[in-house]
Amino acid sequence: MSFFKKLKEKFVKGPESEEEKEDQKLNETEGSDEKENSPETDPAESEHQELDLQGETETLETEVPAEDTEEDTLESTVDEEDDQNVENLEESFPEEEIGAESQEEDEKASIASKFKMGLAKTRNSFSTKINDLVARYRTVDEDFFEELEEVLISADVGVTTVMEMIEELEMEVKRRNVQDPQKVKEIISEKLVEIYYGDDRAEEIEGLNENPGGLTIYLFVGVNGVGKTTTIGKLAHRLKSEGKNVTLAAGDTFRAGAIEQLEEWGKRVGVNVTKHSEGSDPAAVIYDGIQSAKSKNADVLICDTAGRLQNKVNLMNELSKVKRVIEREVPGAPHEVLLVLDATTGQNAMSQAKTFSEATDVSGIVLSKLDGTAKGGIVLAIRNELEIPVKLVGLGEKVTDLETFDAHAFVYGLFADMIEEYEEEEELS
């Protein structure tokens, strides 16, 4: 089966049933009867999420189109299943389970539609360039690959990764004896996924590491303004809606207003925040955060840190100290050191990743603001050149705009238009 077709089957609902299901969902969400649709969803929790979303919509009124709100409200009923769903998105595309529930299909479609929406800028620029390229060539030759190289570089895929990619593409095109440039689109998408995973399996690198027997601690690091605090708020919301007892620690004691900002998120999401006063020792805040989490039997503690100090050396020393405290207090912690990178900064994000990796063992990347850039290819560069997996992506400013990274959904987001087009062509020939 063709790769595009596999992606379509995985992420897109059947065209004839799509509207029907939307209508059905709308009715179920608007009406009071949710029991049939989501037996495991606590009605109070759903209500809470919807309220949160409404609050969020109010504050972001100017930026959020009405239809987004509607979609998010619909999706909030299936949030709980997201992680499980992501685990199912295997590289191998297991055969369709017989009798798979439509709810499960809806969830896949909702993850895909979030990636599709969040990657709209990248896709528009990328699709246009690829389509333009493919239209200008009759055969797949050296010039074609040279131009393709430029298109990939312009999407911030990164020179080293692009070179590797082009080499693999050339081999694959030869192996399959592909003459038609149109067909190369699909091979590109397939190779992007392959390059992303490298030798690792999806379940090894996707999703956040947890401490099954006790307190899970996530440490957030990254330069100022990249989206650490916002992502912590979004993640706290998500974990809480999965039924976890979440608590936060305000480890950015340097920037004026940083503590209040995290407190604001705590209120919004409904989780406890440990804080000291501005200018105090962040390691002491984190220590108290851990004690508070332990005494409350919390499942997850998320630690915020400063993005800027007097200088870089101080910042790195401070992060090392914070990490040592966490390691000492909870063996095996932190379960993730998440470096937040702003996707809109392009290649600069790569040098940030290098600096932070030297100071502290970064276990995963959160790529924020993917929605704000046409250069989403940075995901591949980071993963391939730094060998750090992208764990989460920020696809907007709303509390629900955080997704577990999934390479297939990402590629679907990049090629969504082409996937539909491809099917039509296939039917014609």
Ligand X SMILES: Nc1nc2c(ncn2[C@@H]2O[C@H](COP(=O)(O)OP(=O)(O)OP(=O)(O)O)[C@@H](O)[C@H]2O)c(=O)[nH]1
Q: Which residues bind ligand X (CB under 6 A)?
A: 222, 224-230, 252, 255, 258, 307, 340, 368-369, 371-372, 394-397, 401
Q: Which stretch binds Mg ion (CB under 5 A): 199-207, 227-235, 324-332, 401-409?
A: 227-235
d(CA 143, CA 140): 8
d(CA 223, CA 309): 10
Residue 345 assigned to a binding site:
no
Residue 99 assigned to a binding site:
no
Considering beta carbons, is residue 179 or 348 the nearer one to ligand X? 348
Q: Which does 226 bind (CB under 5 to 8 A by kind): ligand X, Mg ion, none?
A: ligand X
For position 229 contacting Mg ion by CB under 5 A, the verdict is: yes
Interface with Mg ion: number of residues (CB under 5 A): 2
d(CA 221, CA 368): 13
Q: Which does 406 bind (CB under 5 to 8 A by kind): ligand X, Mg ion, none?
A: none
Helices (H), 176-257: 181-197, 202-205, 228-241
Considering beta carbons, is residue 214 or 372 the nearer one to ligand X? 372
For position 305 contacting Mg ion by CB under 5 A, the verdict is: no
Considering beta carbons, is residue 181 or 251 the nearer one to ligand X? 251
Considering beta carbons, is residue 92 or 277 the nearer one to Mg ion? 277
Q: Which stretch binds Mg ion (CB under 5 A): 18-26, 53-61, 125-133, 228-236?
A: 228-236
**Which residues, including other chains, have CB under 8 Å from residue 394's CB and lie 6 or more apart?**
227, 230, 231, 234, 366, 367, 368, 369, 370, 371, 401, 402
Q: From the CB of 128, what's the least distance to Mg ion, in Å?
A: 35
- Residue least distant from Mg ion (Cβ): 229
CB 399 within 8 A of CB 266: no
**Which residues, including other chains, have CB under 8 Å from residue 38's CB and lie 6 or more apart?**
46, 77, 78, 103
With residues binned 3-state (H G I as helix, E B as strand, rest as coil), the percentages for the chain, rounded to 5, are: 60, 10, 30
CB 356 within 8 A of CB 362: yes
Q: From the CB of 224, what's the least distance to ligand X, in Å?
A: 4
- Residue least distant from ligand X (Cβ): 394
**Interstrand relation of 216-221 and 300-305 (parallel, antiparallel or unpaired):** parallel
Q: From the CB of 236, what's the least distance to ligand X, in Å?
A: 13
What separation in angstroms does the CA of 247 have from each of 18, 212, 218, 362? 39, 17, 11, 21
Site for Mg ion, rule CB under 5 A: 228-229
Binding-site entries for GTP: 222-229, 304-308, 368-371
